[in-house]
Amino acid sequence: MPGAGDASLPPGGVQRLLNNNVVVAIDADGRERVLMGRGIGFQLKHEGRVDPTKVEKTFVLDQGSDTAHAQKLLTDAPYALVQAVLRAVDHAERELGRDLGRRLPLAVIDHVNYVIERLDQGIRIPGTSMPELRILHPDESRVAEHMAASISASLDRELPPEEGVFLTMHLLNATRDEPNGTAALLFRRVQHVVRTVETGLGVTLDTAGPDFARFILHVQFLLQRLVNRAMLSSGDSSFFEFAKQRYPRAFGIAESVKGYVLAATGSTLTDEEVLYLTVHVERLATSMGRADDSGAPDAPVL
C-alpha cells in the first residue's frame, strides 16, 4: 500500500515523469517511490535529474493493485490540494503524537478531491453531525476539525461542516489497532441503539446533555463487553424485576435494543445488561420530560 515517507531522494533510481510536480523513482531496494515537489517534474524533463532539496514528500508504493490508483490520484489531484492535505496530516500526527500510517494521506486526498469536485458541480454530499463521535472519540474528533479547518484555509474555500465527521472516521481507521473497519462497525451499532431509543421515546435526544454522554459511553462499553464475552451478570433478579415493573416503557426500549443486538451479533444480552440499559433510558426520558407516568422515582445514577 502507498504511504507517506520521508522527503529524501532514493539513491540512483530510474525516474519516470508523471506530471510537473510528481515523478516516480526506484529506490535501492527496488521499491517504487512517488516523489512530490513543486516543479520537480519540470526539472526532470529539462535537466534529466531531480534536486533532492526540491522533494517535499515521498510515498512508498508496494507492489499491489492499489499502486496504479495511487499514482493516478497523485497525478490528477491539484497539487495545491495535495499540499493542503499533507500539511493537515502532518499537524494531525503531531497533535495525536503518533504516526498515522501509510493509508491516511492518500485516503484524505481522495476524499477531499471528490468533495471539491462535487461542490464544483453544485452537488452537496449529505452528511450528519454525528454527536456520538465527539463523545466516543474526542481526540480524533478535535484533530479532524482542525484538519478540516486547515485544508479549507489552505485552499481558500469553505468545506461543508460535516467534513469533520468524515475526517474523524478516516482518523479512526488509521489510529485504531482493531481489524480494519472495526471502529466504524462499533460506531454504527452505537448509532442504531441511539435511534432505537429515540424512536421508542418519540424524541430527538439532547446530545449536549450529560445523560446522553453517559448513555453513549455505557452503550459503547456494553458492545465491547459483548465482543470480549464479558457481559455483566448477577444471580439477583430482584432489581431487574423492579425496573421491569416500574419503568415499562424504558424496559420495552431496552428489550428492543436486546433484539437488535441479537440480530446484529448473534449474542443475547444478559438480564443485568438489560437492567442497566433500562435505567439509562429512563434517565434520558426523565431529562427530556418523558419519564414513565407511573409515579416512579427518578432512575438511579449508574
Q: What is the CATH number of the domain that holds 260?
A: 1.10.1790.10
My answer on whether 112 and 145 are in the same domain is yes
Which pLDDT tens digit goes with each residue over 180-211? Answer: 556 667 788 898 999 999 999 999 988 887 88
| The predicted structure's pLDDT at residue 256 | 96
My answer on whether 187 and 128 are in the same domain is no
| The predicted structure's pLDDT at residue 301 | 44
My answer on whether 196 and 221 are in the same domain is yes
CATH number, domain containing residue 17: 2.30.24.10
My answer on whether 39 and 91 are in the same domain is no
| The predicted structure's pLDDT at residue 141 | 92
Which pLDDT tens digit goes with each residue over 287-300? Answer: 887 666 554 445 54
- The answer as to whether 67 is a domain residue is no
- The answer as to whether 298 is a domain residue is no
| The predicted structure's pLDDT at residue 2 | 44
My answer on whether 114 and 156 are in the same domain is yes
Asked whether the predicted pLDDT for residue 76 surpasses 50, the reply is yes
Asked whether the predicted pLDDT for residue 58 surpasses 70, the reply is yes
What is the number of structural domains in the chain?
3
Asked whether the predicted pLDDT for residue 233 surpasses 70, the reply is yes
- The answer as to whether 302 is a domain residue is no
Q: What is the mean pLDDT of residues 219-232?
A: 81
My answer on whether 165 and 199 are in the same domain is no
Q: What is the mean pLDDT of residues 218-238?
A: 80
Q: What is the mean pLDDT of residues 251-273?
A: 92
Residues of the chain above pLDDT 90, percent: 28
Q: What is the mean pLDDT of residues 82-94?
A: 94
> Domain boundary residue among 62, 95, 111?
62
Angle at which helices 210-227 and 271-287 pack, to 10 degrees? 160
- Compute the mean pLDDT over every residue in the chain, rounded to the nearest whole number: 81
Q: What is the mean pLDDT of residues 51-70?
A: 73
Angle at which helices 138-155 and 79-96 pack, to 10 degrees? 150
Q: Which domain holds residue 21?
A: 3-62
| The predicted structure's pLDDT at residue 95 | 96
CA distance 278 to 261: 15
My answer on whether 12 and 84 are in the same domain is no
My answer on whether 44 and 117 are in the same domain is no
Q: Quote the pTM value.
A: 0.67
Asked whether the predicted pLDDT for residue 5 surpasses 50, the reply is no
- The answer as to whether 301 is a domain residue is no
Asked whether the predicted pLDDT for residue 3 surpasses 60, the reply is no
> Domain boundary residue among 175, 207, 233?
175
CA distance 122 to 243: 52
| The predicted structure's pLDDT at residue 290 | 65
> Domain boundary residue among 153, 175, 197?
175
Give CA separation, 208 vs 27, 62, 71, 134, 269, in Å.
52, 45, 43, 10, 28
Which pLDDT tens digit goes with each residue over 115-173? Answer: 898 888 887 766 667 788 888 889 999 999 999 999 999 999 999 888 898 898 888 87
- The answer as to whether 69 is a domain residue is no
CA distance 37 to 60: 15
Considering only residues 251 and 49, tell me which one the structure prediction assigns the higher pLDDT.
251
- The answer as to whether 99 is a domain residue is yes
Please name which of 280, 277, 288, 228 lies closest in space to residue 254, comparing C-alpha atoms: 277
My answer on whether 42 and 107 are in the same domain is no
My answer on whether 105 and 165 are in the same domain is yes
My answer on whether 87 and 139 are in the same domain is yes
| The predicted structure's pLDDT at residue 177 | 57
Considering only residues 288 and 111, tell me which one the structure prediction assigns the higher pLDDT.
111
Residue in this structure with the C-alpha cell 462535487, named with its chain if needed = 118
Q: Which region, left, alpha or beta, applies to residue 104 given φ > 0 means left and ψ of -120 to 50 means alpha?
A: alpha
With vertex at residue 219, the alpha carbon angle to CA 218 and CA 225, rounded to the nearest 5 degrees, is 90
| The predicted structure's pLDDT at residue 46 | 61
- The answer as to whether 113 is a domain residue is yes
My answer on whether 191 and 157 are in the same domain is no
- The pLDDT confidence band at residue 1, using thresholds 50, 70 and 90, is very low
- The pLDDT confidence band at residue 4, using thresholds 50, 70 and 90, is very low
Asked whether the predicted pLDDT for residue 18 surpasses 70, the reply is yes
- The answer as to whether 70 is a domain residue is no
